[in-house]
Structure 1
Amino acid sequence: MNTLTRWLRHLWLDAADSRRCLTRAGLQRLEEAVTRSEARHLGELRVCVEGGLDLSQLWRGVDARDRALDLFSQLRVWDTAHNNGVLIYLLLADRRIEILADRGLHSRTAPDFWTTLARRLSDTLHQGDFESGLALAIEEIGLLLHQHYPDDGRAHNENELPNAVVLL
């Protein structure tokens, strides 16, 4: 995609488009999926859907990965007791999903695990089935977190981050 086409797509899509791609009921189901997942492990999941980047971000050459890194910090996904927070970020304008894991979980996975998972999920997202794609990401990451950070009842499983989907 050329630069002008990308810029136009980003400037066309906004937070209202994020709200349109996921119904209120769909947002509720995704939040419930995060809650169910986090009940089984000590990790924290955040889901963020953004319509498009603003003009200043486009001018600086920000891509989905850069924006996900910025949101990873802004949403404090890195600030969990076990360093095992995960951000699932969907940038609608680029139809790109980025998955970022904090160092505690990232160090326990194969080097290409996250990019492989994102690539697999992108097929669902390219078909416009955003809720199913995000639900699948929550499920798969939840299984991984349960494998490495199970809630065995010995540690206090505090909900450190909100479970609601962030729409930008």
Structure 2
Amino acid sequence: MAAFARTLRHLFAPSAAGSFPDPALARIGEAIAAGERLHDGEVVFAVEAGLPAGEAWRGAAPRARAEDVFARLRVWDTRADNGVLLYLLLADHAIEIVADRGLHGRVTGAEWEAVCAAVRERLLAGDDEAAAVEGVARISALLAAHFPATGEARDELPDRPVRL
């Protein structure tokens, strides 16, 4: 019964465009670009209303989906292995951060969880755009601490958020 209920929740999840319309995505993209001026990492924001029915039925975990999106959007494909994905799965109220291997041992799980908690707090307050901008800013601060900007012009991944 739980699989059926979850599948329905994902099938009938309101569109991510309702929570994140194009103007909001543009402002989140601007926040990504501003943050990337402070560090040499790459930040990607992706939001998805619900999983495809088959994945929801099989019980696919939000983390597994985030890792798939990380790979599909090629967030791993940076010179310094320092790409970070901030992923929201609206139907499950899930917030996932997937960081490339260059950040392992530098940023702790507690630091990533603090970012998720800040995003969650803003989402619960009903300010979806501000939640994403807050998450991007906090991720950028962590990246700036470990991969400060060198002044070298580089932008390896698009700053435009992705609505799946």
TM-score range, shorter chain: over 0.9
Q: Which runs of 5+ in 2 are unaligned?
A: none
Correspondence for 1:25: 23
Per mean C-alpha deviation after superposition, the further-off stretch among 21-30 and 86-95 is 21-30
Shift of 1:115: 2.6
Q: Shift in Å at residue 128 of structure 1?
A: 2.9
Q: Deviation per CA, 1:13-51, whole angstroms, max 9, x where unpaired?
A: 26xx11111232211110100011111110000000001
Matches within 5 A, 1:73-152: 73-152=71-150
Residue 162 of structure 2 corresponds to: 166
TM superposition score normalised by structure 2 = 0.92
Deviations 1:84-142 (A, max 9, x none): 10000000101111011111113201233223321332122133321111100010111
Instruction: Please give the alpha-carbon distance, in whole angstroms, between the structure 1 residues aligned to 2:13 and 2:158.
Output: 25
Given that residues 44 and 86 in structure 2 are in contact (C-alpha distance below 8 angstroms), is that contact kept between their aligned partners in structure 1? yes
1:5-44 equivalences in 2 (<5 Å)? 5-13=5-13, 17-44=15-42
State TM-score, norm by structure 1. 0.90
Across the aligned residues of Structure 1 and Structure 2, the Cα RMSD in angstroms comes to 1.7
Q: Does 1:66 align with 2:64?
A: yes
Contact kept, 8 Å, 1:42 with 1:157, in 2: the verdict is no
Using the alignment, how far apart are the partners of 1:133 and 1:143 within structure 2? Answer: 15
Q: How many residues matched? A: 164
Unaligned 5+ residue runs, structure 1?
A: none
Secondary structure of the corresponding residue to residue 128 of structure 1: coil
1:113 maps to a residue whose letter is E
- Mapped to 2, the partners of 1:165 and 1:152 lie a distance apart of 24
Shift of residue 150, structure 1, vs aligned partner: 0.9
1:64 and 1:96 in contact (8 A); partners too = yes
Shift of 1:52: 0.3
